[in-house]
Amino acid sequence: MLQLVQAWYYAQEKNWVLFEKMLLHSIDSYSNHVQNYVSLGIYYIDIGRIDEGKALLDKSIKNVKKIYSDNDSILDRCDPEEFINERIKGIHKTDILVNAIKNRINEE
């Protein structure tokens, strides 16, 4: 998870070499997470590596463990485990975010 946070830092610094390196390390270490695949997939699409990017986004969708509505009243946003599952691992996603990832895969 630390590599993902480091990648976000390098993205803010526009250091794309280290951004990619940290995301690849994150995927190697945490292949069942979602956010690392999404971040690298979108980056690859943006730089023209479209097939690789879409494959990573597809893998990210397969790693989602829980999809909930943005209005889901059952979700406890104060629960630290839920925060990590949603914001860091990304294995819990809203239906809106899952659909946005799917739409990005289906773009030409």
Q: Looking at residues 69-75, what average pLDDT do you find?
A: 66
**pTM of the entire predicted model:** 0.83
Domain extent, residue 29, equals: 2-106
**Would the pLDDT of 12 be above 70?**
yes
* pLDDT tens for each residue of 37-67: 999 999 999 999 999 999 999 999 999 998 8
**Domain CATH for 10:** 1.25.40
> For residues 8-43, b (16+ Cβ closer than 10 Å) or e, as one string?
eebbeeeeeeebbebbebbbeebeebbbbbbbbbbb
pLDDT at position 74: 59
